[in-house]
Structures are given as structure tokens and as C-alpha cells.
Amino acid sequence: MTLAESCYRLTRQFPRDELFGLTSQIRRAAGSVPANIAEGHGRENTGNFVQHLRVSQGSVKELETHLLLAERVGILPVLDLQTVLVQCESLGKMLRALLRSLQDKSAK
């Protein structure tokens, strides 16, 4: 949720003509991360949870790509990019650790 919140705040500074472009894509990908985690957890089935965590991982990578593009086209300052990419990296590590933990439990 913190990453999604950061992305919403970050995209407020984007030009209005990007409202249906990068702004929308970044917000959608950022919101998808916690939504998939919550949905998978709510299914109360480890297999479904793992599947949704993998979708969340994909959304993190998609988000990183949109953020990099925003910086490359000059609408996202490098310092802002670096801050949010650190959040993405941290969340990605947490997702990988949780996936490993769940897969280890399933294997036993």
C-alpha cells in the first residue's frame, strides 16, 4: 500500500496530457500489487495465494518499467525515480521471500 500511495502522489506532478497515459498505467500497476496480495490471501488456499503473489511480482516489474519510461521522457525527476525504485526493490524482495516460505511449507 505504501508503494501505491507513493506512486499516486508522484504522478500528481505529471502533465495533464499524461492522465490517460503514464499516469494511468503507473497508478494501475501500483494498485494491482497490494490488490493481488489481498485477493490471494483472502482465498485461503496456498496455491491461489502463490499465484496471486506471482501476479503481484509481475505488477512490480511493470510498474518499474513505466517509471523508467517516465524518467526517460522527462516527466519524472531522477531523484523521485530512485526513491520509488528502492521501494519496488524492497517489495520485490519481500514477495520473493514470502513465495519461498510458502513453497517450502507446501513441499513438506
For 62, phi then psi, to 5°, come to -60, -45
Is pTM beyond 0.75? Reply is yes
Cell of 52: 496471486
| Domain that includes residue 87, residue range | 2-107
What's the number of domains the chain is made of? 1
| Strand, coil or helix: 20 | coil
Question: Over the stretch 76-90, which tens digit does the pLDDT of each residue have?
Answer: 999 999 999 999 999
Task: Name the pLDDT band for 44 (thresholds 50, 70, 90).
Answer: confident
Residue 3 pLDDT more than 70?
A: yes
Residue 107 pLDDT more than 80?
A: no
CATH code assigned at 51: 1.20.1440.60
Burial 22-51 (b: 16+ CB within 10 A, else e): bbebbbebbbbbbbbbeebeeeeeeeebbe
